[in-house]
Structure formats: structure tokens, C-alpha cells
Amino acid sequence: MKISQKGLYALQAMMVLTRRHTQGAIRIRDIAYEENLPEKFLELILLEMKNARIVESVRGAKGGYRLRRAPSEIRLSEIIRLIDGPLAPFGDADSLRVLIDRDAEHSALYKVFLEVRDAAARILENTTLADLIRRGPAGRSHPKAINRRTSDRKTSKKKKPEPTVLPMVAR
């Protein structure tokens, strides 16, 4: 499974909609600005996610996009599958299972592929947009439940660090 630039954009956009999901419809332009994404490209992505019923739109002036479900009900796997296809590193889970059954010579290999897929699926199916927002920004991955109470609002700083554009090194 490869997550494309487009897939990353989609996930970033969904994080914005999650953070602001009490604020009604958010304009494409605002999302694009906030995350530094190409506006027209983002438009296509949002449209695709609307058709997949992950988000919904409000048309016309004062229009925009909002989540169609609670952030805790939207899994990263759903977004990634939509934009970038199956989680399996080769083919998809179903065709791998068929190959394991029908192609005895290579079943050991396909079984490993399926293991990899299952591992990725386990993570991505169990991480929701709500999880991402709760953890970040720069949050520790797995906050101790016992310490939840200590997250004192007085000490919480809404740090707005400069929208740093980072060089994304491929490869």
C-alpha cells in the first residue's frame, strides 16, 4: 500500500474538518490555505470524498464541507482505501486469499503479503480522525489514561507555529 500525495492531502483536509467540525461548513479555500494545499486539486479530493459519503457539502454562497459522521467513526483506512486503493502491498486481500488457495507454488509468498496487509489494516482500521486530533499536534502517541485529568486547560497553549513548508523527500 502506497499513500500518494493526494492521499496525504485528503488526510490533512480531514484533520482540518475534524478540528473544526463544530463550526459548520468550511470552505475549500480555507482548508487549502490552512494546510497549504493546491486549491483546485483539493476540490477534486473533497468531491471524491463527498461521493463516498465521508463528507457532505453545502452549495452556494456560505457553502463548504463538513464531516458526515463523528470523527470517532471515520477510520484512516476508509480514507486511504478510497484515495489510494487496497491496503495490501500487492493486489488486495481477497485476491491474495484466492492466490493462496489456488497457486500452491507461491502460497508462502502470498501469505506473507497477506500478513503485511493485515498488520497495516489492524493499525489503520483502529485509528480514527478523533484519535489523530486527540494525539496531536506533537502529542505523545499513547497518552496514559491515568493522566488524562492532568491535561489542565490553563496550561494548554494554542501554539500557532508558522506554517512551515517542509521539503518532502521522496524515496
Partner DNA sequence: TATAATGCCTATTGATCAAATAGGAATTGT
Partner DNA sequence: ACAATTCCTATTTGATCAATAGGCATTATA
In the complex, the residues that contact DNA under the rule CB under 7 A are 4-6, 9, 25-29, 38-41, 43-44, 46-47, 50-51, 57-65, 84
Q: Which stretch binds its own copies (CB under 8 A): 20-28, 42-50, 66-74, 156-164?
A: 156-164
Q: Return the residue of 71, 109, 151, 152 that touches its own copies, per CB under 8 A.
A: 109
Show the binding pattern over residues 56-85: x = contacts its own copies (CB under 8 A), - = does not.
Answer: --------------------x--------x
- Distance separating the N- and C-terminal Cα atoms of the chain: 15
Alpha-carbon Rg for the chain, nearest whole angstrom, is 19
Q: Which stretch binds its own copies (CB under 8 A): 25-33, 45-53, 103-111, 143-151?
A: 103-111
Task: Tell me how far apart the alpha carbons of residues 64 and 33 are, in angstroms, rounded to a whole number.
Answer: 14
In this structure, the strands spanning 55-58 and 64-67 are antiparallel
The residue type of 95 is S
Show the binding pattern over residues 83-102: x = contacts its own copies (CB under 8 A), - = does not.
Answer: --xx--xxxx--x---x--x
Tell me how far CA of residue 145 lies from CA of 141, 149, 151, 153, in angstroms: 12, 8, 11, 17
Closer residue to its own copies in complex, CB, 56/101 = 101
Cell reading at 86? 487496497
Helix ranges (H only) for the chain are 5-19, 28-35, 39-51, 76-84, 93-102, 107-125, 129-135
Q: 28 contacts which partner out of its own copies, DNA, none, CB within 5 to 8 A by kind?
A: DNA
The angle formed by the CA atoms of residues 157, 163 and 165, to the nearest 5 degrees, is 140
Which residues are near its own copies by CB under 8 A?
1-3, 7-8, 11-12, 15, 76, 85-86, 89-92, 95, 99, 102-109, 111-113, 115-116, 118-120, 122-124, 127, 131-133, 135-139, 141, 159, 161, 164, 166, 168-171
